[in-house]
Amino acid sequence: MPQLTINDDLVECRVGLTVLEAATRQGIVIPTLCHHADLSPVGSCRMCLVEVDSIDGQVAACTLQAEDGMRVRTESDAFAKSRRMVLQLLLRRYRRPDKLAAGENELERWARHYDVPILSSSNDELLGATRYPIDSDDNPFIRVDLNQCILCTRCVRACEEIQGRFVLGVGDRGEHSHIVAGAGTSMLDARCESCGACAAYCPTGALSDRMRVGQPEPDRSVVTTCSYCGVGCQFRLEVKQDQIVSVASHPEAAVNGMSLCVKGRYGWDYVHHRDRLLVPRVRSHVLDGRLRSAGEERSGWVDVDWDTALEVVARNLIRIKQEHSANAIGVLSSAKCTNEENYLIQKLARQVFGTHNVDHCARLCHSSTVAGLSMAVGSGAMSNSMRDIAEQSQALFVIGSNTTEQHPVFGAMLRQAVLRRNVPLVVADPRRIDLTEFATLHLRHRPGTDVALINGIMHVTLINKWHDVTFIDKRCEGFAELCASLEIYSPEYVAKITGVSALQIREAAEILATNRPMATIWAMGITQHTTGVMNVLALANLQMLLGNLGIPGGGVNPLRGQNNVQGACDMGALPNVFPGYQSVTDAAALQKFSEAWRCSNDAGVDLREISAGLTVTEMIEAAGQRGLRGLYILGEDPAMTEPDSNHARECLTNAEFVVLQEIFPSETARYCDVLLPGTSFAEKDGTFTNTERRVQLVRQAIPPMGDARPDWKIIAQLAQEMMRLENRTSVGPDAAWQYADTGEIMGEVARLTPIYAGVSHHRLIQGEQLQWPVRDERHEGTPILHVGEFTRGKGRFHAVDYLPPQEVPDSLFPLVMTTGRVLYHWHGGELTRRSTGLMSVYPETLLEIDASDAHRLGIGDGSMVRVSSRRGVMVAKAHLSARVFPGVVFGNFHFPAASNVNNVTIAALDPIAKIPEFKVCAVRVERC
């Protein structure tokens, strides 16, 4: 390791560091403006000039490589003089606005340090008129004032090197040089994704967060975890007088560093939206003790206190248990809520209600992943870490994942893997998603033909003997059956099914098989099919065939869609498993949870006698037929997210007694009898588990709104009320529902859940990064699964054959509808539709349709269209797009009522995972 002397201090550093980096690691501060540790050095601002004995003159420390024996000086009167001169020159361009965003920027801090005066824009008589229009871009998130720009180009490099978007550049020459978007367009027209990286890295405020302008200086900053997708980004909530004023990057965030997406950085304002539920509400007929007949309209709302609301809920659920059975009650948990809350809600269902009827939205997104991977390798989780994939993979196979829109920060990592390391990327997707611009090869297969495509790739792999014989012999079983099943899947045969040419299938196989390790990445384009489990098994087959499991840069990597869908599954919010995927039919698990929760006939509930539970879709159907009499919904919106939503809403209309615990009056609220106001992620403590199994803290930043309560407290108080009314007593730390805080709940989880045995709030507060399984309090966690051995012992190949989708186009419904999310919205849109900036960019639902189909149907860009299926109608604005090919249209489920694509989707289920086929149905499109 090189040793150098900096200001008489002996500094040792690793090979390849610059003098600036070596000094920074030693705690020696060298002024910089154009430099940022995340970005490539350019040495243009000349603030970091130093002297080196062996070099004449002053040199930029940010670009000078540290070498053994160097003697470096960073401070002297001469340096101070030169830095003052640099600042004076930079400040000739700089106009300090009269109304700054709160806080001092980096340029002003160094100007103050070196006693260089700064003039504001009101001193134009001294400075000359401002050179550029103030607030010169219509981006709703980023304020542009080039009068504050010093041309450090941090924004340009951040857009290129962090986001991979190439929106910004330098236009003109000489003194007229300035930052431009695209070829002199607006940022959005230059395809800006509004991630805010440019503003986060800007040292002067020339680019700043529009939501922050004019806000007061925060009085506290709280590090927490994002409540949107499963990437698990962390950031700082900036708070003033119990109001969030902005989100700021948290550079030490393990997953994302400074990076955030538009929703994470700017989509927080829903927390303070006027629609927030602030008090419990009960329908008047429920307060009167009257039962509503099936189909009868619900009465009006009455605001009540918490004691009344909890007693109403408890008495009605007890009545249902007594009149029908505990299995007449169903519970929908929430991937939006914390691990601790999901643990308590499944415990409420099992220990207090006495039913395994508990499920959540994982049923609608990754239940086929959990089932398929459990069959193949013994664990349904993502095997590798996102940063490991971005930095170690030698090839990438992204199939059924619009990563840059649905998991934007990870999508940016994949772009950088291609840009920085030239990693070959194969994208398989029926749409020309943005990631295809970076792909070596885009396989544009027909929706629902994934098994045939993957089998074709494996067929070519075997023919060319590219498979890993040693790995297969040592660690797998079922290989002979797999080989036999693949014989018919020649590239020519697969081409007829998929629409992908035989040449491309051969090319894809060669790229994926000869560049190892290769990571396979998927999302709901793979899982939301009647063949979802088979799709996942095929991908597991591919990775075992190539020996890409249990190693850095490889793996099977399903991307979870919601912030805590992984954690909700881990916590047992599923009908067939206790926390930690311990089967509800396993004798040892039954005994353990019975003893911990004091469950026996004497206590009112015997876990050993509870029958099998229902899934989400089955519960909604049963509630409509009144086989299920009570439905307790935590943070889910089945009126928006269920397939064939017209039928789902009819079922909810007929349901006897529905409780909704939520932060907003969602679309489901109109079908409920009791509304219990919970809190957002900013108002409570707990943990989320991200898509890579990383457990991270959620920290309370502001007090609950109105009379809302943290969801874990509501659940615990309801359990206590029901046990009081039933005269049930429970003793023991894991049975009495007496929790001082969420740390105590996680302690109970750790005692009962082997994969979380070493997880504690204390370790997380200390900054430990824990990815389960964490075997005990000394175990450091497991960044990569299946190292040396699969969770099930040997990995099992499964022979899977192509089956067509449940519904295919015909003369009445000649187009294929496929569905998904868009960048500016999330899930059912309950949060993002209450974010001003997000709605200003994407205010209504759009139907993507190929131009040739549109012209044939007499539809123009922006025309209102009617999309019909055998189940219902969706009304949307047509967007003529090359992203979809002829015969296919694309819609999203972010908007309610007639705009929801789930009005037309089909409720056909995968026979194993019971996941609906959201990704393929037949429709007809007509101009309204």
Given a contact cutoff of 8 angstroms between Cβ atoms, the answer to whether 179 and 170 are in contact is yes
Same domain, 344 and 375: no
CB 365 within 8 A of CB 373: no
Confidence check: pLDDT of 87 > 80: yes
User: Alpha-carbon distance 731 to 430, whole Å?
Assistant: 56
User: Per-residue DSSP letters for 194-205?
Assistant: ---HHHHH-SSS
pLDDT of residue 99: 59
pLDDT at 656: 94
Residue owning tokens 């809920």? 313
**Is the torsion defined by CA of 158, 161, 165, 169 positive or negative?**
positive
Length of the chain: 928
The per-residue pLDDT for 127 is 47
Do both 347 and 405 map to the same domain? no
DSSP state of 255: T
Per the model's pLDDT, the better-predicted residue between 595 and 505 turns out to be 505
902 residue type, one letter: N
The whole-angstrom separation of Cα 277 and Cα 56 is 68
Query: Is residue 833 located within the same domain as residue 746?
Result: no
The secondary element (H helix, E strand) that includes residue 641 is helix 638-641
**Residue 635 maps to a domain:** yes
* Domain CATH for 912: 2.40.40.20
Instruction: Work out the average pLDDT over 840-858.
Output: 96
Dihedral sign of CA atoms 850, 851, 857, 859 in order: positive
For residue 747 the two structure tokens come to 């302690």
pLDDT at 547 over 90: yes
* 479 in the same domain as 388: yes
> Where among 716, 734, 755 does a domain terminate?
755
Q: What is the pLDDT of residues 555-572, one digit of tens each?
A: 999 999 999 999 999 999
Considering its fold, how many domains does the chain have in total?
Answer: 4
Q: Are residues 361 and 378 in the same domain?
A: no
CA atoms within 13 A on the CB side of 775: 5
pTM greater than the 0.85 cutoff: yes
Under the banding of pLDDT at 50, 70 and 90, the label for residue 748 is very high
Reading the block at residue 673, the tokens are 């009898």
- Termini Cα distance of the chain: 71
Whether 822 and 910 share a structural domain? yes
Q: Does 25 reside within a domain?
A: yes
> Does residue 271 lie in a domain region?
no
- Residue 126's pLDDT is what? 45
Shared domain for 416 and 448, answered yes or no, is yes
The percent of residues in the chain predicted with pLDDT above 90, rounded, is 88
The tokens describing 134, both together, are 């103030």
In a domain, 253, yes or no: no
Lowest mean pLDDT among 69-83, 589-603, 702-716, 729-743: 729-743
Say if residue 54's pLDDT is above 90. no
The answer to whether the CB of 686 falls within 8 A of the CB of 761 is: no
Indicate if 358 and 404 belong to the same structural domain. no
| Residue 539 included in any domain | yes
Please state the separation of Cα 209 from the chain's center in Å: 22
Q: How far apart are CA 229 and CA 227, in angstroms?
A: 7
Are 352 and 392 part of one and the same domain? no
| pLDDT tens per residue, range 805-835 | 999 999 999 999 999 999 999 999 999 999 9
- Model confidence band, residue 94 (pLDDT cutoffs 50, 70, 90): confident
Residue reference for tokens 């209102």 = 864
pLDDT at residue number 101 = 54
User: Pick from 558, 583, 600: which residue ends a domain?
Assistant: 558
Q: What is the pLDDT of residues 408-450, one digit of tens each?
A: 999 999 999 999 999 999 999 999 999 999 999 999 999 999 9
Question: Based on the domain organization, do 378 and 308 belong to the same domain?
Answer: no
* Domain final residue pick, 75, 105, 134: 75
Q: What is the pLDDT of residue 125?
A: 46
CA–CA separation, 674 and 281 (whole Å):
6
Asked, for residue 892, whether it belongs to a domain, the answer is yes
Average pLDDT over residues 788-799: 96
Contacts (Cβ under 8 Å, ≥6 apart) of 58: 49, 50, 51, 79, 82
Evaluate whether 749 touches 756 at the Cβ level (below 8 Å).
yes
Task: Find the angle CA(126)-CA(132)-CA(138) to the nearest 5 degrees.
Answer: 145
pLDDT value, residue 269? 96
The first and second tokens of residue 90, run together, are: 């930079």
Does residue 133 lie in a domain region?
no
The reply to whether 219 falls in a domain is no
Displacement of CA 313 from its chain's centroid (Å)? 33
Mean of all residue pLDDT scores within the chain: 94
Report the CATH number that the domain containing residue 20 is assigned in CATH: 3.10.20.740
* 57-87: b (≥16 Cβ within 10 Å) or e: ebbbbbbbebeeebebbbeeeebeeebbebb
Place of tokens 């039954």: 590
For the ranges 285-289, 453-457, 735-739, 903-907, the lowest mean pLDDT is seen at: 735-739
Q: Exposed, middle or buried by CB within 10 Å (0-12, 13-18, 19+), for 183?
A: exposed
**Three-state DSSP state, 165:** coil
Are 360 and 452 in the same domain? no
Non-local (6+) Cβ contacts of 515 within 8 A are 394, 395, 423, 424
Buried b / exposed e over 582-599, threshold 16 CB at 10 Å, is bebeeeebbebbbebbbb
Retrieve residue 321's tokens: 């248990």
Query: CATH number for the domain including 677?
Result: 3.40.50.740
676, β-bridge pairs: 661
Look at residues 131, 124, 87, 82 and name the one whose alpha carbon lies nearest to residue 106.
87
Write the pLDDT tens digit of every residue in 101-155: 557 899 999 999 999 988 665 445 444 456 788 887 889 999 999 999 999 999 9
Could you give the residue ranges of the DSSP H alpha helices within 144-261? 154-158, 197-201
pLDDT > 70? residue 483: yes
10 Å CB burial of residue 516 (0-12, 13-18, 19+) is: middle
Question: What are 567's two structure tokens?
Answer: 């954690």
**Mean of the pLDDT values across residues 280-297?**
89
Mean pLDDT, rounded, for 305-332: 96
CB contact at 8 A, 447 and 889: no
375/228 Cα distance (integer angstroms) = 29
Residues 506 and 424 in one domain: yes
**CA pair distance 422, 456, nearest whole angstrom:** 26
pLDDT of the residue at 603: 61
b/e string for 710-720 if b means 16 or more Cβ within 10 A? bbbbbbbbbbb
Average pLDDT over residues 265-280: 97
Contact partners, residue 175, CB within 8 Å, separation at least 6: none
- pLDDT at residue number 129: 55
CATH code of the domain containing 394: 3.40.228.10
Q: How confident is the model at residue 728 (pLDDT cuts 50, 70, 90)?
A: confident
Is the pLDDT confidence value at 307 over 80?
Answer: yes
Share of the chain above pLDDT 70, in %: 97
Q: For 20-47, write each residue's pLDDT tens digit.
A: 999 999 999 999 999 999 999 999 999 9
Q: Is the pLDDT of residue 161 over 80?
A: yes
Positive or negative, the CA dihedral 240, 244, 249, 252 is positive
CA distance 444 to 10: 58
DSSP string over 811-861? SSS-EEEEEE--TT--TTSTTGGG-HHHHHHS-S-EEEE-HHHHHHTT--T
- Domain, as residue range, for 905: 815-927
